[in-house]
Amino acid sequence: MIVCVAVVGHQNNPLYIQSFTEADDALKLHHIVHCSLDVVDERVNNPKKSGPLLNETFLGLLYPIENFKVYGYLTNTKVKFILVTTDLDVKDADVRNFFRRFHAAYVDAVSNPFHVPGKKITSRTFAERVSTIVKSFGLTSAV
């Protein structure tokens, strides 16, 4: 199950962080997301692991921590999407699909003329859309 999703701006400033656990571990999740940025930078900056997935938006598994798995996605506009999940066997396709829909939601959110670029996303409809996407995560029916 997805524990937390986050949108991080191109200056590594959090634009949207939402945790889906009833436990009050917002802080820990913030830390995890925050640290994951290091890994994102590492992935992007040093072309050690070059080849096809060098420029792919989907960054795959960033790192496992405790009992979480952290996945990353970096758009062309240097906006990062972070996904923290507790599932043990996560199908790559599912994550990709999730990120694709999440990205779509994000694009619609920032296309709102009243949204100030670089500011936190406060749109309620965005939040709702995200939660539905998160709910449908892992279900193969999800498209």
Partner 1 sequence: MVREVAESCVDSLLTEMVASYCNRFYANKPELAARRIEAIGYQVGHQLSERYTMERPRFSDHLEAIKFICKDFWTELFKKQIDNLKTNHRGTFVLQDNKFPWLERISIDPSTDKVNSAEDDSFTTAENKAASTISMHLYYPCGIIRGALSNLGITCAVTADISNLPACSFVVRVKA
Partner 2 sequence: MMDPATTPLGQMLLEEITPVVMVLSTPSVEDSSLKNGLSFLHLLTPFCSFNNIDVPVRTASDQPYRLHKFKLRLFYASDVRRPDLKVAKERLKQVITEAGEKVFSELASDVPHIDHEHASSEYRNTPSWFQFLNKELVRVASFSDHEAFDHPVACILAVSSNDEGPINRFVDLYNSNKLPSLLNGGAMDPNILKHYLLVHDNQDGPAERASKIFTEMRSTFGTSDCSLLCINSSVDAPIKHQVNPWASHMSDASLSQGLGCFLNTDDINEIKNLMQNLSSKYIIPNMEQKIRELNQQVSATRKGFRNQIKNLWWRKGKEDGADSPNGPMYNYSSIESQIRVLGDYAFMLRDYELALSNYRLISTDYKIDKAWKRYAGVQEMMGLTYFMLDQSRKEAEYCMENAFSTYVKLGSLGQQNATRCGLWWIEMLKARDQYKEAATVYFRICGEDILHSAVMLEQASYCYMLCKPSMLRKYGFHLVLSGEQYKKCNQIKHAIRTYRNALSVLKGSTWSYINDHVHFHIGQWYASLGMYDVAVKHMMEILACSHQSKATQELFLSDFLQTVKKTGRTFEVTKLQLPVINISSIKVIFEDYRTFGSPSAANIREALWNSLEEEMLPSFSTAKSNWLELQSKLIPKKNSQSNVCIAGEAVKVNIEFKNPLQIPIPISGVALICRHSGSTDEARSDENQSNMEKNNEIDHFREMSSDNTSFSVSEVDFSLGGGETTMVQLSVTPSVEGTLSILGVRWKLSGTIIGFHNFESSHPKKNIVKGRRKSNYSPNNMFKFMVIKSIPKLQGSVRHLPGKAYAGDLRQLVLELRNPSDFPVKNLKMKISHPRFLTIGNPEHIKSEFPACLTKKIDSVNNDAQANPGIMSDTVFMFPEDTSIQGENPFLWPLWFRAAFPGDISLCMSIYYEIGDISSVIRYRTLRLHYNVQILPSLDVSFQISPSRMRMQEFLVRLDVVNKTSSESFQVYQLSSVGKHWEISLLQPPDTIFPLQSLMAGQAISCFFTLKNSRLLTSEANEPAMHVRSDLSLVPQSSDNLVFNINNAPLINFHHFESIAKSYTDQGDLNTVDFVLISRSLKSDNNSGLSDPPCVMSHHACHLSTASTGPISWLVDGPRTLQHDFSASFCEINLKMHLYNSSHATAIVRIDTLDSAGSGGVVQSPTSDIQAGWHDVTPTTPTSEPKVTSNAFETQLKKALSLDSVSPYIWSGSSSTNLHLEPMSSVETPLQICVFSPGTYDLSSYVLNWKLSSKGHGGGDETKQQSGKCQGYKYYITVLQSS
Are 17 and 33 in contact by the 8 Å Cβ rule? The answer is yes
By CB under 8 A, the count of residues binding partner 2 is: 16
Nearest Cα to Cα of residue 104 among 139, 142, 138:
142
**Which listed range, 21-29, 34-42, 69-77, 129-137, lies at the site for partner 1 (CB under 8 A)?**
69-77
Q: Which two tokens stand for residue 87?
A: 């599932």
123 binds partner 1 (CB under 8 A): no
Distance CA 112, CA 117 (A): 10
41 binds, among partner 2, partner 1, none (CB under 5 to 8 A by kind): partner 2
How many residues are recorded in the chain? Answer: 143
93 binds partner 1 (CB under 8 A): no
125 binds partner 2 (CB under 8 A): no
12 binds, among partner 2, partner 1, none (CB under 5 to 8 A by kind): partner 2
